[in-house]
Amino acid sequence: MATRFEIVHEHDTFLFQLRTADGEVVLRSLGSPSKIMTQNEILHLRSAIRDESHFVPHVADDGTHFLVLKDKDGSVLAKTDHVGSAAVLDQLKETIIAAGAAPMIDLTKKHRSHAS
């Protein structure tokens, strides 16, 4: 499997996730009410990852590290999973930057065909 952005539909919300070639989801959006808004968020993300200032590192109360990726207007586009160290977070950031041109796969189409 190649690294890709997947559009999924969960609990009446559309969201995107970045899945690496080994199948790990490393980045997820917050969700939106429409698929078109989610596709637009991916386009904004592709632009945002070109600028270091859009990656905002955080440390959770439990000491784990995660990134919030923000759009140019400051709104949150996506968050990473929590990882154990700043070094692992840096590797995760490089993975996200390298995936900027990854294809977008719409998994909501599969979901609808099974629901019929």
Predicted TM-score (pTM) of the model is 0.87
Sequence spans of domains, the chain:
4-107
Q: What is the pLDDT of residue 113?
A: 43
In tens, the pLDDT along 17-50 reads 999 999 999 999 999 999 999 999 999 999 999 9
- Give 14-23 contacts, CB < 8 A, sequence gap 24+: 14/38, 14/108, 16/41, 16/42, 16/45, 16/78, 16/104, 18/78, 18/96, 18/99, 18/102, 20/95, 20/99
In tens, the pLDDT along 59-109 reads 999 999 999 999 999 999 999 999 999 999 999 999 999 998 999 999 997
The encoded tokens of residue 88 equal 């692992």
Q: What is the pLDDT of residue 109?
A: 79
- In three-state secondary structure terms, 1 is coil
Q: What is the pLDDT of residue 1?
A: 79
Hey, what CATH topology would domain 4-107 get?
Answer: PH-domain like (2.30.29)
